[in-house]
Structure 1
Amino acid sequence: MRKLEPEDKQKMRRIYAGKVLNAVRTKGFTPLTIQDLSTLMNISRASLYNYFSSKEDVVMELTYYCLSYIEEAGETILNEEIPYPIRLQKVFEQAVISAFYTSSIYMDDLKRNCMSLYNEKLHSRKKRLDVVQEFYLKGMDAGAFHRLNPSILIMQDEVVLEKMLNTAYLAREGLTLENALIDYYEAKSTQIVKSGLNYDHENGRIKEIADHILSKMAES
């Protein structure tokens, strides 16, 4: 195998780490062996060691994979050149992906085995919620949003999305994840955005938002 440039190697590390995300968020990383990880990445053990020095190295890269998305989304949310209703779409996307990336099983494993990464995840969560709260308050002051309690809006997302990402719940209620996302976002945007500014309902825009979120989740 030819030696990769550092930048190319980092890109491959990020890609391979993303391939194990779904297994880690549903099972945790403690029970996964190097062989399990290489199988999930669809590469040999030898190839895995070309990119990662250990199982812990995979976990570290996976955690930074998740953190980098949250930071990137936060920059868009606070970009005042973008209309508030459009940025609300990014708030919703960030909330869904963050809930998907941060399962209780994954976080419990980090807390027991990688306290420094666990603390970084907690810091990232606080930073994300501070950004979202600032966004809501500015939107209210600008007259784009109804005057509501940002903390309640954030808590609402956390409670609803945890339930929504539970496949057993969706099956019991006869819902697909796509339909659940569409219905919840429609309710959320109606609740928050003032009448006349809420144009997500036009031309199937809500379905586009849901499809984009599902494609992000499918990358994992």
Structure 2
Amino acid sequence: MGRKSIHRERKDKSKKVEQWTQALLPKLRNIELGELTMDDLAKLMNKSKSTIYQYFVTKEEIFEYVTQVRVDQLKAYKSEISIEIMGLGYQYEALAKILAEGVKDISPFYLKQLQMHYPSAWDIVEHFLQGLLKDLKEFYVFGIENKIFKNVSPELLIKLDEYFIMQLITDHTFFNDHQQTLESAIKEYMFVKFEGLVQ
């Protein structure tokens, strides 16, 4: 009964709520998400629990919101790809910058924890990544057909992307062993890939 009443009285999420929930991300880089309580999250956001409950009912809802906000910010890549295709231009650095900026403050350990403990939030990530793979395939096909890229298999390129995106981003042991960030890995991966593709 209490939960329904809280749900009914929740406030609309403002820009300020977006800011203090996004500020959570760097604090969660190495934290076991499954062990976090609402009290822990409130402390990490420097808010009282009653303030948190004005906007969110559950931890799941917080992680869904945090994930959706970041994914919405990342969707800028779509217009970047479209602009390049429309103008027959090519500049992988712009796309790499958008994607690297999107993962700023996010660790592979955090993503793995999200996948394990908050499947509804992970679904948002996965849906975004599947859309990105589809768009990249169209970009490769267009680039190959218009002789911007070398004549290589788009299916192979997508398989490489799929492995990198779906496997490596949650492999915190690789990043721990190599002292690399997700942000730098994306930049390096895209450099190697696109510089190798250009005619």
Scaled by the length of structure 1, what TM-score is found? 0.63
Question: Residue 58 in 1 paired to residue 62 in 2?
Answer: yes
- 1:91-102 maps to which residues of 2 (within 5 A)? 91-93=95-97, 96=100, 97=102, 100=106
Q: For this pair of structures, how many residues does the alignment match?
A: 180
Closer/same/farther in 2, CA of residues 50 and 179 from structure 1, 3 Å limit: closer
Question: Residue 192 in 1 paired to residue 194 in 2?
Answer: no
Contact 1:38–1:45 (CA under 8 A) maintained in structure 2: yes
Spell out, residue by residue over 1:2-48, the C-alpha distance to the aligned partner (whole angstroms, 9 max, x if none).
Answer: xxx94xx4322322221223455654532211122122223333333
Whole-angstrom distance in 1 between the partners of 2:184 and 2:135: 28
Contact 2:77–2:99 (CA under 8 A) maintained in structure 1: no
CA RMSD of aligned residues (A): 3.5
Whole-angstrom distance in 2 between the partners of 1:188 and 1:49: 45
Of 89, 96, 101, the match for 2:93: 89
Corresponding letter in the other structure for 1:15: Q
* Structure 1 position 128, deviation (Å): 1.5
Closer/same/farther in 2, CA of residues 98 and 28 from structure 1, 3 Å limit: same
* Structure 1 position 142, deviation (Å): 1.7
- 1:1-220 maps to which residues of 2 (within 5 A)? 6=12, 9-22=13-26, 26-27=30-31, 29-79=33-83, 80-82=85-87, 84-86=89-91, 88-93=92-97, 96=100, 97=102, 100=106, 103-111=111-119, 114=120, 117-157=121-161, 159=163, 162=168, 166-171=174-179, 183-194=188-199
Scaled by the length of structure 2, what TM-score is found? 0.68
* Structure 1 position 138, deviation (Å): 0.8
Helix, strand or coil at the partner of 1:85? coil
Corresponding letter in the other structure for 1:133: K
Contact 2:71–2:125 (CA under 8 A) maintained in structure 1: yes
* Structure 1 position 155, deviation (Å): 3.6
Whole-angstrom distance in 1 between the partners of 2:63 and 2:188: 34
Helix, strand or coil at the partner of 1:143? coil
Structure 1, unmatched stretches of 5+, are 195-220
Whole-angstrom distance in 2 between the partners of 1:94 and 1:143: 25
Helix, strand or coil at the partner of 2:90? helix
Structure 2, unmatched stretches of 5+, are 1-10
Spell out, residue by residue over 1:66-104, the C-alpha distance to the aligned partner (whole angstroms, 9 max, x if none).
Answer: 321343322321223455422x23443455546957723
